Amino acid sequence: MKILEEYREDYSKIVTNVKAEYLQNWRIKIQFDDGTEKTIDFKPFIEESNHPEIKKYLNETLFQDFDIVNGNLNWNDYDMIFPVWDLYQGKITS
């Protein structure tokens, strides 16, 4: 068996989520330390989830109560969390 390692430049980039601002309708504008900004719509992800701990965030008031922990968006002490790299790419999936 031969094992190959491939290093891609985009994976070596270390980014940090420095600011996140709730806009409206389950969308959050996120600013990263390299100046990149993304606006992400979380509603489709939450609506498609079958997990009750995720579905409860269809309550917009609950959804708005998030923190940034180690660059990741985090709700209610890891109830729901999105890694910084996924946010940077603008891709959230279940």
Give the CA count within 13 Å in the CB-facing half-sphere of 77: 0
Q: What is the pLDDT of residue 83?
A: 86
Question: What tens-digit pLDDT sequence spans the chain (94 residues)?
Answer: 555 555 445 544 678 888 999 999 999 999 999 999 999 999 999 999 999 999 999 999 999 999 998 888 999 999 999 988 889 999 887 6
pLDDT of residue 94: 63
Please give the C-alpha separations between residue 60 and each of 17, 34, 64, 75, in angstroms, as whole numbers. 22, 29, 6, 12
The pLDDT value recorded for residue 74 is 93
The CATH code of domain 15-89 reads 3.30.2020.10
pTM of the model: 0.81
